């Protein structure tokens, strides 16, 4: 564990990734999340693109502006800022992806219009979430993290699937990160299995 880094809390990238990894250790489940987490984020922004501007230019203006400062941009900025604080290097890439998702979703919303745009967002959300639940139920054999930690499921998941990919190419937020999180993940999974076996023994 690198000296001087922030420990504990939401900004502890090692602790948070270890929690994430304990729920995503099966390779197929990891692949499913890599494929579908960012589309969930993108289509959430697509739905939010139809929210009214937070700072309307005039009270009488009702025309749709794809790049308005509305709920979609607010969410993108919150996510982007949080990821940069979590890890400045990988977080900057994640922040760029957040802003690109906002721009792309805004223009897609303008092209589709509210009715079709919301239908596309809803269908995509249902499909992507279904795939993730299948990943947990069939391949992981463990309930998703959202049942334990909503912040992990909705706020951190896009960053951590990106970090999962970057780590395949040798990236680490700090020296010794991989070794530390692998040990923490193994310990967490072992504790979960022991608890599961104990509960099954009580029920038998």
Whether 40 is covered by a domain: the verdict is yes
Asked whether residue 186 is assigned to any structural domain, the reply reads yes
3-state per-residue secondary structure call for the chain? CCCCCCCCCCCCHHHHHHHHHHHCCCHHHHHHHHHHHHHHHHHHHHHHCCCCCCCCCCCCCCCCCCCCCCHHHHHHHHHHHHHHHHCHHHHHHHHHHHHHHHHHHHHHHHHHHHHHHHHHHHHHHHHHHHHHHHHHHHHHCCCCHHHCCHHHHHHHHHHHHHHHHHHHCCCCCCCCHHHHHHHHHHHHHHHHHHHHHHHHHHHC
Task: Answer yes or no: is 11 within a domain.
Answer: no
pLDDT of residue 194: 83
Give the residue numbers spanning the domain of 74.
16-52+68-203
Q: Tell me the mean pLDDT in the region 135-156.
A: 81
Question: What percent of the chain has pLDDT above 70?
Answer: 89
What integer is the mean pLDDT of 47-68? 72
Q: pLDDT category, 3, cuts 50, 70, 90?
A: very low
**How many structural domains does the chain have?**
1
| pLDDT tens-digit map of 6-32 | 456 778 899 888 888 888 889 999 999
- Residue 10 falls inside a structural domain: no
pTM of the full predicted structure?
Answer: 0.87
In-domain check, residue 193: yes
pLDDT of 63 above 60? no
- pLDDT at res. 148: 74
């Amino acid at each position: 564990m690198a000296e001087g880094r922030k420990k504990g809390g939401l900004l502890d990238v090692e602790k948070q990734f270890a929690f994430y990894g304990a729920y995503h250790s099966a390779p197929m489940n990891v692949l499913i999340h890599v494929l579908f987490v960012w589309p969930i984020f993108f289509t959430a922004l697509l739905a939010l693109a139809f929210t009214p501007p937070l700072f309307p230019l005039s009270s009488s203006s009702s025309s749709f502006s794809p790049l308005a400062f509305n709920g979609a941009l607010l969410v993108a900025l919150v996510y982007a800022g949080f990821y940069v604080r979590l890890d400045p290097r990988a977080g900057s890439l994640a922040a760029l992806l957040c802003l690109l998702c906002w721009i792309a979703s805004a223009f897609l919303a303008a092209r589709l219009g509210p009715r079709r745009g919301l239908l596309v967002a809803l269908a995509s959300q249902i499909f992507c979430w279904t795939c993730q639940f299948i990943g947990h139920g069939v391949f992981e054999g463990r309930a998703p993290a959202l049942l334990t930690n909503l912040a992990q499921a909705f706020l951190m998941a896009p960053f951590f699937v990106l970090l999962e990919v970057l780590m395949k190419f040798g990236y680490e937020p700090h020296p010794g990160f991989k070794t530390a999180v692998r040990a923490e993940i193994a310990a967490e999974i072992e504790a979960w299995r022991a608890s599961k076996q104990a509960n099954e023994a009580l029920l038998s």
